[in-house]
């Protein structure tokens, strides 16, 4: 046996469970995303949304004459959850997703840690998967933060009870909470398309700020396109066209058609941009 | 058995046509400490990036530990410790947390022993006391040592180190060189790039010289040096007389500077020159043979000074 074979055997011997720790990178990735101060501040801001809305409604009283979910908060604190989620969807949530997704690969590239990860070796495909999983978990964490904060603030500041649905029927508080939970899930899934776009843009550059700006720019452009009536022919294909469909969960029975079409569209965006990010990261020269 | 690092015709042409690495054939013998030498900008780091599969060669092949790169990188790289182009870390994390993160990226690394291995690696590079300090607060030298600790988290068969002593103070430099020798003593092959000739002289068994993307030479350090003939150097105030005497004895390539005369003594034993100079009433302040340094070897190879970088 040559000396180098002996070394090889020794190396194998100290790693009896080689090849079994695929998950460690995913866990490490979550630690990276959620351990950062900016993530925690972002979640803190999201948690403050129900608080701000709740206090505003409490101070002005229920005679604001506002329609929709906000108008119902004073009568039933549960609607604070739904209203907060709905109000965060157009701006706060996309901003948070933009920041985290823009940072994901570009941040590693700018720090130089991408080199160390790849020589570890993380494997380019697996690293990308870990980034995407962490992003999805962040989307869920973001909406859950609002759900929990809305629940707490709503129950403290307002009376709660049976829930009057959009279709006119009334369901129990427990059923209403479950529906609000469903809304949080649907909204977090609605963010995945944008997360995919952010991940792809982040794979193109070594400047996180540029990735964030480009992702947010894309989001704004999609919003503008959605707002131009003359473009109605392409509207069904735009990322945020059916974002408001979550409210259909408050019908009896829930109206799934629009929700499903929204989620399919998100899945389509995610598939396209994730594939593009994969093609990019697996062929890119890492400097 | 095959050499731990082999490249054949390795070439990298960047967009815009600049050839950073030009048909490089490396062969790093097992167990060697291989100094990859060249001025800044000579293509060392680009070569190392190709060895590790970070960038794709324009043409040519890389074999690491007997397997083709980058194809087999998931199988090969766990057996290779790498430090590429300066230390890169998450500044908002402690040194230990950084080690754990990079180790977690390697799926062959055992999570159960991860903390213990991180502790040992930090100890080995002398960072135990700073383990829980954020890397943001580390000095460049500490980061450099942390980067070496990453490479030491596992038992490796090959270490690929890009300028490992860059940014270290003299004490740290000595420690790192000592560490390299120690690792090599355990049978690890070490491939280390440097622009410091002294480093190669002190640490390496083999050396390769790069210049402008081309590999000029690779051999043992001893061979590289022995190709240069020793020079006779005489310190004296009587320059003219000394030069005349030496020339008369067949010394070639005579050079006279402010207070020395030097030249290639040929095959004559050196004491003959001393006797002749004394006989010619040349006052001798200093006298001796100087072994050529690697720097001389480098200049002889490249025809240029070592700091030339383009």
Q: Where are the domains of chain B?
A: 5-225, 231-291
β-bridge mates for residue B158, sequence order? B80, B189
- Work out the burial of residue A227: count CB atoms within 10 Å of its CB; fewer than 13 is exposed, 13-18 middle, 19 or more buried: exposed
Q: Which architecture, in CATH terms, is B231-291?
A: 2-Layer Sandwich (3.30)
The DSSP result for A196-242, as a single string, is HHHHHHHHH-S-HHHHHHHHHHHHHHHHHHHH-GGGTTTGGGSTTTT
CA distance B172 to chain A (A): 22
Tokens encoding B116: 């213990």
Residues in chain A with CB shorter than 8 Å from the CB of B54 are 115, 118-119, 285-287
Residues of B with a Cβ under 8 Å from any A Cβ are 1, 4, 30-31, 49, 52-56, 73-74, 77-80, 82, 84-86, 88-93, 100-111, 150, 154-157, 187-188
CB contact under 8 A, B77 and A25: no
CB atoms within 10 A of CB B28: 24
- 287 residues of chain A, pLDDT tens digit each: 344 444 444 444 444 444 568 889 999 999 999 999 999 999 999 999 999 999 998 888 755 555 677 878 888 899 999 999 999 999 999 999 999 999 999 999 999 999 999 998 999 999 999 999 999 999 999 999 999 999 999 999 999 888 888 888 889 999 999 999 999 999 999 999 999 999 999 999 999 999 999 999 999 999 999 999 999 899 989 998 889 899 899 988 889 999 999 999 999 999 999 999 999 999 998 87
The Cα B118–Cα B103 span in angstroms is 9
CATH number for the domain running over B5-225: 3.40.50.300
- Work out the burial of residue A177: count CB atoms within 10 Å of its CB; fewer than 13 is exposed, 13-18 middle, 19 or more buried: middle
Residues in chain A with CB shorter than 8 Å from the CB of B150 are 116
CB contact under 8 A, B54 and A117: no
User: Closest-CA residue in chain B for A32?
Assistant: B101
The Cα B120–Cα B155 span in angstroms is 12
- CB environment A19-55: b (16+ within 10 A), e (fewer): eebeebbbebbebbbeebeebeebbebbbbbbbebbe
**Spatial CA neighbour of B217 closest among B39, B24, B54:** B24
The Cα A169–Cα A247 span in angstroms is 15
Q: Provide the residue ranges of all domains of chain A, joining segments of one domain with +.
A: 22-283
**Spatial CA neighbour of B64 closest among B77, B83, B82, B45:** B77
- 310 residues of chain B, pLDDT tens digit each: 579 999 999 999 988 888 999 999 999 999 999 999 888 888 999 999 999 999 999 999 999 999 999 899 999 999 999 998 878 999 999 999 999 999 999 988 999 999 999 999 999 988 999 999 999 999 888 899 999 999 999 999 999 999 888 878 888 888 888 889 988 988 899 999 988 888 888 889 999 988 889 998 898 988 877 777 778 888 888 888 888 888 888 887 788 888 888 888 877 788 888 888 888 888 888 888 887 777 777 777 776 655 544 3
Beta strands in chain A, from DSSP E residues, in sequence order: 163-164, 170-171
Query: B295, B306 in Cβ contact below 8 A?
Result: yes
Residue A201: asked if its preceding bond is cis (omega within 30°), the reply is no
The Cα B164–Cα B173 span in angstroms is 9
CB contact under 8 A, B107 and A10: no
Query: B194, B200 in Cβ contact below 8 A?
Result: yes
β-bridge mates for residue B8, sequence order? B61
**How far are the Cα atoms of B76, B78, B85, B194 from residue B72, in angstroms, in the given order?**
6, 11, 22, 27
Residues whose CB is less than 8 angstroms from the CB of residue A270 and which lie 6 or more positions away in sequence, other chains included: A192, A193, A195, A196
Pairing of strands B260-264, B252-256: antiparallel
| Helices A92-111 and A124-157: angle between axes, nearest 10 degrees | 150
CB atoms within 10 A of CB B72: 15
Please indicate if any CB of chain B lies within 8 Å of the CB of A1: no
**How far are the Cα atoms of A49, A191, A208, B98, B149 from residue A45, in angstroms, in the given order?**
7, 17, 21, 28, 38
User: Closest-CA residue in chain B for A19?
Assistant: B108
User: Closest-CA residue in chain B for A121?
Assistant: B106
**How far are the Cα atoms of B73, B103, B306 from residue A17, in angstroms, in the given order?**
19, 14, 48
List, for residues A160-181, the tens digit of each pLDDT value: 888 888 888 889 999 999 999 9
């Amino acid at each position: 046996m040559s000396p180098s074979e002996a070394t090889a055997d020794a190396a194998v011997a100290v790693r009896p469970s080689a090849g079994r720790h695929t998950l460690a990178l995913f866990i490490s990735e979550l630690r990276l995303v959620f351990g950062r101060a900016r993530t925690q501040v972002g979640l803190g801001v999201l948690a403050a949304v129900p608080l701000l809305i709740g206090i505003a409604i409490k101070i002005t009283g229920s005679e604001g004459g506002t329609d929709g979910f906000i108008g119902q908060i004073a009568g039933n604190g549960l609607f604070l959850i739904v209203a907060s989620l709905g109000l965060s969807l157009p701006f706060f949530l996309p901003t948070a997703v933009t920041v985290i997704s823009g940072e994901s690969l570009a941040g590693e590239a700018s720090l130089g840690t991408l080199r160390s990860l790849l020589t570890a070796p993380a494997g380019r495909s697996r690293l990308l998967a870990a980034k995407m999983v962490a992003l999805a978990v962040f989307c869920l964490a973001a909406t859950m933060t609002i759900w929990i904060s809305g629940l707490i603030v709503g129950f403290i500041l307002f009376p709660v009870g049976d829930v009057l649905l959009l279709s006119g029927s009334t369901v129990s508080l427990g059923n209403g909470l479950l529906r609000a939970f469903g809304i949080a899930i649907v909204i977090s899934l609605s963010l995945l398309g944008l997360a995919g776009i952010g991940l792809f843009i982040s794979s193109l550059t070594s400047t996180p700020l540029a990735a964030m700006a480009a992702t947010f720019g894309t989001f704004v452009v999609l919003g503008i396109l959605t707002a131009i009536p003359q473009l109605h022919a392409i509207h069904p294909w735009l990322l945020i066209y059916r974002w408001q469909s979550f409210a259909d969960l408050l019908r009896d029975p829930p109206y799934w058609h629009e929700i499903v079409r929204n989620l399919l569209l998100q899945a389509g965006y995610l598939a396209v941009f994730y594939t593009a990010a994969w093609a990019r990261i697996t062929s890119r020269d890492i400097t | 058995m095959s050499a731990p690092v082999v490249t054949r015709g390795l070439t990298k042409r960047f967009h815009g046509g600049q050839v950073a690495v030009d048909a490089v054939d490396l062969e790093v013998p097992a167990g060697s400490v291989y100094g990859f030498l060249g001025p800044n900008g000579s293509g060392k780091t680009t070569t190392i990036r190709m060895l590790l599969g970070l960038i794709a060669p324009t043409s040519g092949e890389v074999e690491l530990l007997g397997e083709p790169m980058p194809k087999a990188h998931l199988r090969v790289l766990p057996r290779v410790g790498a430090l590429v182009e300066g230390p890169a870390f998450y500044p908002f994390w402690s040194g230990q947390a950084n080690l754990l993160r990079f180790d977690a990226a390697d799926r062959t690394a055992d999570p159960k022993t991860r903390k213990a291995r991180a502790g040992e690696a930090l100890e080995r590079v002398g960072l135990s006391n700073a383990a829980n300090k954020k890397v943001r607060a580390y000095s460049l030298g500490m980061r450099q040592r942390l980067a070496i600790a990453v490479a030491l988290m596992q038992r490796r068969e090959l270490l690929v180190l890009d300028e490992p002593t860059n940014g270290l103070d003299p004490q740290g430099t000595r420690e790192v060189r000592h560490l390299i020798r120690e690792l090599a003593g355990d049978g690890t092959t070490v491939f280390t790039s440097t622009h410091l000739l002294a480093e190669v002289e002190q640490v390496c068994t083999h050396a390769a010289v790069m210049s402008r993307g081309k590999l000029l030479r690779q051999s043992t350090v001893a061979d590289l040096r022995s190709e240069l003939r020793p020079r006779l150097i005489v310190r004296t105030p009587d320059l003219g007389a000394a030069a005349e005497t030496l020339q008369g004895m067949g010394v070639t390539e005579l050079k006279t500077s402010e207070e020395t005369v030097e030249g290639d003594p040929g095959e004559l034993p050196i004491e003959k020159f001393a006797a002749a100079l004394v006989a010619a009433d040349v006052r001798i302040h200093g006298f001796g043979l100087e072994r050529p340094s690697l720097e001389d070897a480098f200049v002889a190879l490249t025809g240029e000074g070592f700091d030339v970088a383009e």
